[in-house]
Amino acid sequence: MHSKDFTVSVLHGDVDQKERDIIMREFRSGSSRVLITTDILARGIDVQ
């Protein structure tokens, strides 16, 4: 996806909380347009 100029972020269980906060901030602001996750967000996510 990066090679096609998509801005992509990835969240998984090995990402620490500080980095998760940064990734979510980037996704909410639109600087990252695609968010790929594992079951870490299975309970839901508030993007607003």
Taking only the tens place, the pLDDT of each residue in 1-48 is 878 888 999 998 888 889 989 999 999 999 999 999 887 766 666 666
Locate 9 and state its tokens.
């972020």
Give kind and range of the element (H or E) at residue 11: strand 8-11
pTM: 0.74
List pLDDT tens digits, range 28-41: 999 999 999 887 76
Q: Which amino acid is at 10?
A: V
pLDDT of 18 reads 94
CB 1 within 8 A of CB 34: yes
The confidence score (pLDDT) of residue 37 equals: 87
Domain chopping of the chain, boundaries = 1-47
**What whole-number distance in Å separates Cα of residue 46 and Cα of residue 10?**
16
